[in-house]
Amino acid sequence: MSKPTNDCGCDRDSGDLISVDRAMELLLGAARPLRVTEAVDTISSLNRVLAASCISAVNVPPMDNSAMDGYALRVSDVGDADAGLPVSQRICAGDTADPLQPGTVARIFTGAPVPAGADAVIMQEQAEVTDDKVCFTNPATIGQNIRRSGEDVAVGDEILTVGTRLRGQEMGLAASIGLLGLEVYRKLKVGIFFTGDELSEPGQELAPGKIYDSNRFTLHGLLSALGCEIIDLGIVEDTLDATRTGLQAASDQADLVVTSGGVSVGEEDYVRIALEELGELTMWRIAMKPGKPLAFGHVGETPFIGLPGNPVSVFATFNLFATPFIKKMQGMANYLTAPIPVIAGFDWPREGNRQEYLRVKLEITTDGQRRAQAYPHQGSGVLTSTSWADGFIVVSIGETFKQGDLVNYLPFSEFR
Ligand code: AMP
Ligand code: MG
């Protein structure tokens, strides 16, 4: 594949830009965890962040139990049992078991308690049942097919630590030690609005000169996936008054305000001016592509992140900057995402003077390696690239590479 193109094929500006790493350091240095906690039902805890560690009061499994449908027995009884062993009891999952009578076996099913005295389970596929005896086609070893009490979780184990985001598997793990409820940080409230007189809402007919407001929907999806509560003020017109009112209203209700558009230096970019009036503003021109301008500041105590307007820039800067900021505010212990090496499926011959985030899709080569192919049009307005792709290739300033070289890949799935 030839080198993907951008809007202008040029890099006009290299002065007074700060690096992505420096911007990240400044931004994350200002993120304060919420620390307010609440109880939730384990069943409703998806995506919440744990505020108290979970220590087990029980063993999982609680008793030695069978991993197979088969026969529980003493290994020492099998050797001299050419004639077979009689079945002395039948134990189903959920039953209690009597001690195993010497010289007999117990019919047992998966999950049923292993009777005292038994030291192995032979699966039923390796047993031959005659009228009143069972013979075995394979020898048994001690412990075989027995799931030991506490082999998953032992009493006193810390199974989940503070700052863990709860996925389905953590919900199940908490339930496996009997926890009906969990202590989590309360949901982060994120106030959002969208600047631009060119914006129309989907559902309306598009008047001349207008475009649909896609950033609103992108941010809803990304914020919901992060478990945030969204306070959506919609489209705010491009006037200083409206922008000021929007910023004030959002910051009054939310823990964090995120906006899109209006952070450049054009005459119609009021976010910067409004924020300077209401609070404090740091404007960063970041040496990255897409997404150069990023505003950060506070309205009162409420932090503010002003994303650029271009839809791909919104997607990139939200994932790269707002996501770790939000994760840190939510109390997550691991809020940074580290790239992984994959093979480049295309050449990158020209050194850039901004760090680039190329939208790529991974393919598996015939020898089983992961190789990244770039979307052919990498313009900051081409939202199709973000849906087609499953991650970014991060190209550092001055980096070039050839097909087959190792490059740094950030999967979109990691921004969760
Ligand atoms: P701005 O930063 O306000 O100058 O916007 C930069 C570009 O992004 C312009 O082409 C805008 O039309 C576009 N844009 C701004 N906001 C949105 C939005 N909410 N949805 C889609 N495109 C937008
Ligand atoms: Mg605008």
Amino acid residing at 370: R
Is the Cβ atom of 198 under 6 angstroms away from ligand 1?
yes
**Fold that domain 65-147 belongs to in CATH:** Molybdopterin biosynthesis moeA protein; domain 3 (2.170.190)
Percent of the chain with pLDDT over 90: 88
For residue 83, the model assigns a pLDDT of: 80
CB-count burial class (<10 Å; 0-12, 13-18, 19+) for 210: middle
For residue 14, the model assigns a pLDDT of: 47
Percent of the chain with pLDDT over 70: 96
54 alpha carbon – ligand 1 mean position (Å): 45
For residue 266, the model assigns a pLDDT of: 74
- For residues 130-166, one letter each, b for 16 or more C-beta atoms within 10 angstroms of the residue's C-beta and e for the rest, the string is eeeebebeeebeeebbbbebbebbeeeeebbebbbbb
139 or 160, which is more confident: 160
Report domain extents, the chain.
1-32+187-416, 38-58+158-185, 65-147
The class that CATH gives domain 38-58+158-185 is alpha beta
Q: Cα angle vertex 276, ends 271, 277, to 5°? A: 100
Using alpha carbons, select from 319, 363, 357 the residue that is nearest to residue 344: 363
80 alpha carbon – ligand 1 mean position (Å): 82
Shortest-distance ligand to the CA of residue 266? 1
Q: What predicted TM-score, i.e. pTM, was given to this entire model? A: 0.92
Across 94-98, average pLDDT: 98
Using alpha carbons, select from 36, 14, 1 the residue that is nearest to residue 331: 36
Is the Cβ atom of 65 under 6 angstroms away from ligand 1?
no
Q: What is the mean pLDDT of the chain?
A: 94
List, for residues 107-151, the tens digit of each pLDDT value.
999 999 999 999 999 999 999 999 889 999 988 999 999 999 999
For residue 283, the model assigns a pLDDT of: 79
Q: Which two tokens stand for residue 7?
A: 């809007």
Cβ–Cβ < 8 Å for 403, 345:
yes
Residue 80 binned pLDDT confidence (cut-offs 50, 70, 90)? low
Least confident of 15-24, 109-118, 138-147, 350-359: 15-24
Question: Which of 192, 200, 211 to probe ligand 1 with, by most ligand atoms within 8 A of CB?
Answer: 211
Q: Cα angle vertex 358, ends 353, 364, to 5°? A: 135
Cβ–Cβ < 8 Å for 272, 295:
yes
Shortest-distance ligand to the CA of residue 259? 1
For residue 7, the model assigns a pLDDT of: 41
Across 9-24, average pLDDT: 71
For residue 339, the model assigns a pLDDT of: 96
Across 69-89, average pLDDT: 89
Question: Which of 8, 200, 215, 294 to probe ligand 1 with, by most ligand atoms within 8 A of CB?
Answer: 215
Is the Cβ atom of 310 under 6 angstroms away from ligand 1?
yes
Report which listed range, 84-88, 272-276, 289-293, is most confident. 84-88
For residue 272, the model assigns a pLDDT of: 85
For residue 1, the model assigns a pLDDT of: 43
Question: Which of 192, 197, 199, 313 to probe ligand 1 with, by most ligand atoms within 8 A of CB?
Answer: 199
For residue 16, the model assigns a pLDDT of: 83
Three-state secondary-structure class, residue 221: helix
The CATH number, out of the four listed (3.40.50.720, 3.40.1390.20, 3.40.980.10, 3.40.50.300), of the domain defined by the range 1-32+187-416: 3.40.980.10
364 or 264, which is more confident: 364
